[in-house]
Chains A and B, each alone.
Chain A
Amino acid sequence: MRDRVIFGGQLLFTALVAAFLIVPAILSMLAGITVNYFRGIGSGLTLQWVVAVWDLYAETIARSLLIAIATLAATLVVGVPAAYALNVRGGRFARTVEEVITLPLAIPGLAIALALLLTYNGFGDFRRSWLFILTGHVVFTLPFMVRAVMAVLSGIDVKTLDESAASLGAGPWRRFRDVIVPNARPGILAGALAVVTLSLGEFNLTWMLHTPLTKTLPVGLADSYASMRLEVASAYTLVFFLMIIPLLVAMQLLADRRGTLERS
Chain B
Amino acid sequence: MSFFAKPVPTFAGHARGLSHRSFLRLCLLPLAVVAAAFFLLPMVKLVIVGASGETGLSAYAAIVTQPRYRATLINTVLLAAATTAASLAIATIAGLFLQRHRFPGRAVLVAMLTFPLAFPGVVVGFMIILLAGRQGLVGELTSRLIGEKLVFAYSIQGLFLGYLYFSIPRVILTIMAAIEKLDPALEEAARALGAGPWAVHRDVILPALVPAFVASGAIAFATAMGAFGTAFTLATNIDVLPMVIYTEFTLSANIAMAAALSVGLGLVAWAMLALSRSLTGGTIAAAG
Known: A27-B130, A169-B7. A244 touches B35 (CB 8 A): no
Q: Mostly helix, strand, loop or mixed at chain A's interface?
A: helix
A78 with B12: CB separation less than 8 A = no
Which residues 213-233 of B have a CB within 8 angstroms of A?
Answer: 222, 225-229, 232-233
Which of B28, B103, B169 contacts A21, CB < 8 Å?
B169
Across the interface, which residues of B come within 8 angstroms of A261, CB to CB? none
Binds B, one of A45-53, A184-192, A219-227: A219-227
Do the beta carbons of A173 and B266 come within 8 Å of each other? no
A108/B269 in contact, CB under 8 A: yes
- CB pair A201–B228 under 8 Å, yes or no, is no
User: How many angstroms from the CA of A183 to the CA of B27 in the assembled complex?
Assistant: 17
Query: A201: shortest Cβ distance to chain B, in Å?
Result: 4
Residues of B within 8 A of A202 (CB): 120
* In the complex, residue of chain A having the shortest beta-carbon distance to the beta carbon of B197: A6
B window 102-129: CB within 8 A of A? 103, 109, 112-113, 115-123, 125-129
Q: Contacts A13-B94, A172-B20 hold; do A116 and B269 have CB atoms under 8 A apart?
A: no
Q: Assuming A21-B113, A106-B269, A108-B225, is B31 touching A78 (CB within 8 A)?
A: yes
Bound Cα distance A201, B12 (Å): 45
Q: Are B112 and A118 in contact (CB under 8 A)?
A: no
Identity of the chain B residue whose Cβ is nearest the Cβ of A134 in the assembled complex = B38
- What interface size band does chain B fall in? 35 or more
Interface segment, one of B43-51, B61-69, B143-151, B186-194: B43-51
Q: Knowing A77-B30, A110-B228, A142-B34 touch, does A14 contact B130 (C-beta < 8 A)?
A: no
| Least Cβ–Cβ distance between B84 and chain A, in angstroms | 15
Binary contact track A185-220/B, C-beta < 8 Å → 1, others 0:
000000000000110011110011000000000100
Q: Considering the complex, which residues of chain B in the window 244-288 have a beta carbon less than 8 Å from any beta carbon of chain A?
A: 245-246, 249, 255, 258-259, 262-263, 265-266, 269-270, 273-274
Contacts of A77 in B (CB 8 A): 30
User: A15, A108, A118, A234: which contacts B226 (Cβ < 8 A)?
Assistant: A108
Instruction: Report A1-48 residues with CB < 8 Å from chain B CB.
Output: 7, 10-11, 13-15, 17-18, 20-25, 27-28, 31, 37-38
* A window 63-96: CB within 8 A of B: 74, 77-79, 81-82, 84-86, 88-89
**For the complex of A and B, 10 pairs with smallest distance between CB atoms:** A108-B226, A169-B9, A115-B42, A172-B23, A81-B27, A111-B262, A85-B27, A24-B127, A201-B120, A115-B46
Known contacts A15-B109, A108-B265, then 11 further A-B pairs from the complex at CB < 8 Å, ordered by chain A residue: A10-B96, A17-B90, A21-B169, A79-B31, A112-B43, A114-B46, A167-B9, A167-B12, A172-B19, A201-B120, A248-B117
